[in-house]
Amino acid sequence: MTLTTKAAVLTEPGKPFEIVELDLDEPREGEVLIKYTAAGLCHSDLHLTDGDLPPRYPIVGGHEGSGVIEAVGPGVTKVKPGDHVVCSFIPNCGTCRYCSTGRQNLCDMGATILEGSMPDGSFRFHSGGKDFGAMCMLGTFSERATISQHSVVKVDDWLPLDKAVLVGCGVPSGWGTSVYAGGVRAGDTVVIYGIGGLGINAVQGAVSSGAKYVVVVDPVALKRDTAIKFGATHAFADAAEAATKVNELTWGQGADQALILVGTVDEEVVQNATAVVGKGGTVVITGLADPTKLTVHVSGTDLTLNQKTIKGSLFGSANPQYDIVKLLRLYDSGQLKLDELITQTYTLDQVNDGYQDLRDGKNIRGVILHEN
Ligand SMILES: NC(=O)c1ccc[n+]([C@@H]2O[C@H](COP(=O)([O-])OP(=O)(O)OC[C@H]3O[C@@H](n4cnc5c(N)ncnc54)[C@H](O)[C@@H]3O)[C@@H](O)[C@H]2O)c1
Ligand SMILES: [Zn+2]
Ligand SMILES: [Zn+2]
């Protein structure tokens, strides 16, 4: 039996999402049919349209998702129909070199997430004789999808899936940038560039790790005000003003960590971040940019003589299977904010309005609530 689903797809560069009806294959060996409840509007899907992350076309958008398992294919042991799950935008197979050494965010099964195919190169969405990919093997801008069991993490039934959805990408990627990649410790001074769906969670991570000063930089007033509500100690529209303040706060020693979570990373923000950390400091680059552009231009001698580290971080350097559950338990016990991260909700038909609001700086995170 072939299923059908309504989905938001990209068909060519520079074009917005189009809402179409697609055929959907039933789950094969190791796969599940999921009915998505909610999908977050992460900036990475905007990179698919702005040309920074050109995908294979056509592709169903969306990689932050939560939902309910409706059916399972042969050999599925991880979940059963009726289970509530949050999707991980990087699958975790559990057995590859990276999964088996506690680095599930680097799982080898993630190789095709931008192609949007299953690991064997096949697709589950189709229309008019064409195969449609699924962003990050998920395609959460669809009512339903057929995905790998390794892309889902079972979560407690009583948690609201319309809030838990954020723990599929933005929350762990931001929180983990502070806690895991940055290694923020009690008493540290942290500078965070870019307070969107990821950066605000880097603030939550830095605050929960006991940072003394959390200094944020974002040109948008709503973002700065929200960061202060989440526990940031200082907020600036301008990186130079932030650097002057950090110098004053640390008696010239500089920050311990500078975390880059801006929408599109460029040379300037990397240079500012590298200059604002002091001896032994760490710069983490989590934001994306056109992969063909060289965005790191800094003095190697500064790195050597001041023993600074610049590193990238994927999925907050977290382990999805462990950290999605852990972060939701922190939410459940009141130690992690999720409800306050959602500025606006949209229907699937309003996906382009949601991305326009993101571009206009109106949203910390927008979320699509699927209707059926
Ligand atoms: N590494 C990962 O695992 C991972 C995961 C998800 C998203 N991302 C990437 O992280 C980035 C952030 O995603 P998001 O969803 O939070 O985006 P967003 O659009 O919600 O937030 C970006 C913020 O950066 C601010 N900004 C832009 N330029 C700035 C500058 N020069 N200085 C300071 N602030 C600036 C914007 O005002 C905005 O508030 C994107 O590039 C996204 O693709 C990376
Ligand atoms: Zn994302
Ligand atoms: Zn793996």
The CATH number covering residue 119 comes to: 3.90.180.10
Amino acid 50: pLDDT: 86
- Label residues 188-201 b or e (16+ Cβ within 10 Å = b): bbbbbbbbbbbbbb
Is 191:259 a contact under the CB 8 Å cutoff? yes
Q: How far is the C-alpha of 49 from the C-alpha of 124, rounded, in Å?
A: 22
In the predicted structure, residue 372 carries a pLDDT above the cut 80: no
214 within some domain: yes
Which ligand lies nearest to the CA atom of residue 358 in the structure? 1
Q: How far is the C-alpha of 63 from the C-alpha of 44, rounded, in Å?
A: 9
Question: Six-digit token pair at 110?
Answer: 């993630």
329 within some domain: no
One domain, residues 230 and 309: yes
Q: What ligand 1 atom has the least distance to the C-alpha of 217?
A: 33
In testing the pocket of ligand 1, which one of 135, 136, 217, 288 has its CB within 8 Å of the most ligand atoms? 288
331 within some domain: no
273 within some domain: yes
pLDDT in tens, 34-91: 999 999 999 999 999 888 888 899 999 999 999 999 999 999 999 999 999 999 999 9
Amino acid 1: pLDDT: 63
One domain, residues 36 and 161: yes
- Tell me the CA–centroid distance for residue 164 and ligand 2, in Å: 14
pLDDT in tens, 207-249: 999 999 999 999 999 999 999 999 999 999 999 999 999 999 9
One domain, residues 309 and 350: no
Number of domains in the chain: 2
One domain, residues 341 and 307: no
Mean pLDDT of the chain: 97
Q: Is the CB of 132 under 6 A from ligand 1?
A: no
Q: What ligand 1 atom has the least distance to the C-alpha of 288?
A: 41
Question: Six-digit token pair at 32?
Answer: 């599940």
DSSP three-state, residue 324: helix
Range of the domain at 224: 176-313
- Tell me the CA–centroid distance for residue 115 and ligand 3, in Å: 18
Average pLDDT over residues 88-103: 97
CATH number at residue 280: 3.40.50.720
Q: Whose CA is nearest to atom 27 of ligand 1?
A: 262
Average pLDDT over residues 93-119: 96
Which ligand lies nearest to the CA atom of residue 65 in the structure? 2
Q: Whose CA is nearest to atom 10 of ligand 1?
A: 287
Q: In what order do the strands lie in the sheet with 309-312?
A: 234-236, 213-217, 189-193, 255-260, 277-285, 309-312
